[in-house]
Chain A
Amino acid sequence: MTLLAELSGSIGSVGYGLAAIGPGVGIGIIFGQGVQAIARQPEAYGVIRQNMLLGFALAEALALIGFVVPFVYGV
């Protein structure tokens, strides 16, 4: 197998950076839309906040798995 490129050093950190892109965009969208929904309908604040946090938790899990994996498999 021929090596095209090689990377050394703290690759786990690079992996975490890559893993954080998607959730970063997702969390931004969730809170952006959530705030918009609250502004449009302030009386539904309770329900919107709850669903906002739920969506946030689900999106954030991906970033957190990316954070933990380098520790598990060694940097």
Chain B
Amino acid sequence: MGLSLSAALPSSAWGCNFPECTFPAPGTEIFFFDNVFSIGPFGFNKAMIQLFIGAIVVIGFFWFAFRKPKIVPRGAQNVGEVGYGFIRDGIARDVIGKGGERFVPLLFTFFFFIWVLNFMGIFPTLVFPVTSVFAIPVAFALIVYLTWVPLGIAKQGGWGFFKNIMFPPGLPKPLYIILAPIELISNILVRPFTHCVRLFANMFAGHLLIVTFTVAAWYLFSPTIIGLLGSAVSFVVVLALTAFELLIQALQAYIFTLLTAVYISGALHAEH
């Protein structure tokens, strides 16, 4: 019925809210912004400003929460302690184990900074996840990479580090001919790549979906029954996607932090 109805209607039934009455499918151009202002050679666009806002929000909140720590926490300190306990007990102690406390500040910063940056994707007035700019997850993944590789070399020795990666013990000898290069490539080259692409692509895809359905809601809008219906359905999808993104954002921040802990743990204690 839907098909025959839309075929019977002239194309103008969908309204004409965009030039030439076509659907302007959003592409990668929605992730690029013009500079708002620039200081010397550094241009500041929307993503850059949001990055600074995110840093200020995270630093500001936790500074406020722990400015006068009390033995019985109240208000903001409670929230801060729950967050800290979640990272320390749930990630650092569980995954890294012995010696994990040293890395709590790194993991804590990663989790909350990435979460705030992701959350901007559905925050009204900003509506742009900073982590969907590829350079930012790359920088994060690079920090992690430059943490666990030197750490592994320091703990296991230069040769020991590569030996533990390339020759997992307890396998038949001929298998190592295939396994050693695969393990080396997957751990040294592919690992940092997937680490950042995972975060980036999730945020990128989520933002693109939300923008597509938002544009569609306006594209379908017209003062006809079918136009209003199509527009309303599209708008409901936007709301559902926003709720879904809320989940994905927290999950991706958690997974990034969890993988950081797993990599550090692998560098600290070689597999037996």
Residues in A lying within 8 Å of B, measured CB to CB: 46-47, 50, 53-54, 56-58, 60-61, 64-65, 67-68, 71
Contacts and interface: CB of A to CB of B under 8 A. Distances in A.
B205 interface: yes
A58 B198 CA distance: 9
A64 B259 contact: no
B169 to A, nearest CB: 22
Interface residues of B, number: 19
Contacts of A46: 90, 94
Nearest to B95: A50
Nearest to B190: A61
A68 B204 contact: yes
Contacts of A68: 197, 200-201, 204
B197 A64 contact: yes
Interface of B: 27-28, 90, 94-95, 194, 197-198, 200-202, 204-205, 251, 254-255, 258-259, 262
A57 to B, nearest CB: 4
Contacts of A56: 255
Contact of B259 (A47, A57, A65): A57
B255 A61 contact: no
Contacts of B258: 50, 53-54, 57
B198 A57 contact: yes
- Residue of A46, A53, A54, A57 with most chain B CB atoms under a 10 A cut-off: A57
